[in-house]
């Protein structure tokens, strides 16, 4: 199978693949607990993410969204099924920024470059370029405590991009932010994705966030998580939360989400 490759991250960077999706899940299931008393969290998930595609995983709390992301990231193994990421280990961004507080913003980004084997002489320039890409020009020397919550998440995004993976996994990265900051970062992420054409797998429980960002929304059922339904989002980017098209589709998807929650409550 041909491997995906990503050029140096920056304006105009593109994801390329030949004959393979960026991520492929084949009948993936995951259970926790000892044999005979195991709880199935994910059951038979089959999903392809195309090169350059932005996919949102949507579902109620506890449906297995984060578990699925951890499996794709290689942080855990499925109980059964197959996971293929031809381009290598994906970059991962968590809900919490997970920055090292004793390092500057730039040094946090440089750490990822160092782990990739980038020569020391090149790290600062590359880190500054990545910070510029996430609209943090001049922030290289700032300590974590000097940054706002939104700025910290941008540094975390720059650090994820420093891994130079063609696949970016995002686990509710904006959930802890206020509505205005989240709105701004939605714009920034959409711009970044349009520039780099990364394959993005984004976990959220916020329907409007999913519709605003994604090309495709995948709804997971609750306990065990199964793919209940998918929507292709044909609305042009950039989008706004208040756009009529976003609002209308959010209402439709929310009703299906509520139905899944009600069905789980009756089981």
pLDDT at 266 over 70: no
Nearest Cα residue to 130 out of 140, 115, 120, 121 = 140
- Domains of the chain (ranges plus CATH)? 17-90+167-267 (3.40.50.300), 99-164 (no CATH)
Q: Judge contact between 28 and 210, C-beta under 8 A.
A: no
What pLDDT shows up at residue 97? 76
pLDDT at 70 over 90: yes
What mean pLDDT value characterizes the chain?
87
**% of the chain exceeding 90 in pLDDT:** 62
Instruction: Specify the length of the chain in residues.
Output: 267
Nearest Cα residue to 170 out of 209, 221, 124 = 209
**239 vs 246: CA distance, rounded Å:** 8
Count of CB atoms situated within 10 Å of the CB of 187: 14
What pLDDT shows up at residue 19? 59
Q: Judge contact between 128 and 106, C-beta under 8 A.
A: yes
Beta-bridge mates of residue 216: 55, 232
Average pLDDT of the segment spanning 183-201: 91
Q: What is the pLDDT of residues 1-36, one digit of tens each?
A: 333 333 334 333 333 444 589 999 999 999 998 777
3-state secondary structure of 63: coil
pLDDT at 63 over 90: no
What pLDDT shows up at residue 227? 94
3-state secondary structure of 224: coil
pLDDT at 228 over 90: yes
Which pLDDT band, with edges at 50, 70 and 90, does 222 fall under?
A: confident
């Amino acid at each position: 199978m041909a491997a995906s490759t990503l050029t140096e991250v920056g304006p105009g960077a593109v994801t390329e693949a030949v004959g393979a999706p960026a991520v492929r899940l084949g009948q993936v299931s995951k259970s926790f607990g000892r044999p005979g008393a195991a709880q199935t969290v994910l059951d038979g998930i089959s999903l392809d993410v195309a090169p350059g595609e932005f996919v949102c995983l949507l579902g109620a709390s506890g449906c297995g969204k984060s578990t699925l992301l951890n499996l794709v990231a290689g942080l855990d193994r499925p109980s059964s099924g197959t996971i293929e990421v031809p381009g290598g280990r994906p970059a991962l961004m968590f809900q919490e920024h997970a920055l090292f507080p004793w390092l500057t913003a730039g040094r946090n980004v440089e750490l990822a470059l160092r782990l990739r084997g980038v020569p020391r002489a090149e790290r600062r320039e590359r880190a500054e370029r990545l910070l510029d890409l996430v609209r943090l020009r001049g922030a290289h020397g700032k300590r974590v405590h000097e940054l706002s919550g939104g700025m910290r998440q941008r540094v975390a995004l720059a650090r994820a991009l420093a891994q130079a993976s063609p696949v970016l996994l995002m686990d509710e990265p904006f959930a802890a932010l206020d509505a205005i900051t989240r709105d701004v970062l939605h714009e920034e992420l959409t711009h970044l994705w349009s520039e780099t054409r990364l394959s993005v797998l984004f976990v959220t429980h916020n329907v409007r966030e999913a519709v605003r960002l994604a090309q495709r929304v995948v709804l997971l059922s609750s306990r065990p998580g199964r793919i209940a339904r998918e929507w292709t989002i044909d609305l042009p980017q950039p989008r706004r939360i208040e756009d009529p098209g976003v609002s209308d589709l959010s209402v439709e998807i929310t009703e299906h989400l509520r139905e899944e929650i009600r069905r789980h409550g009756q089981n």
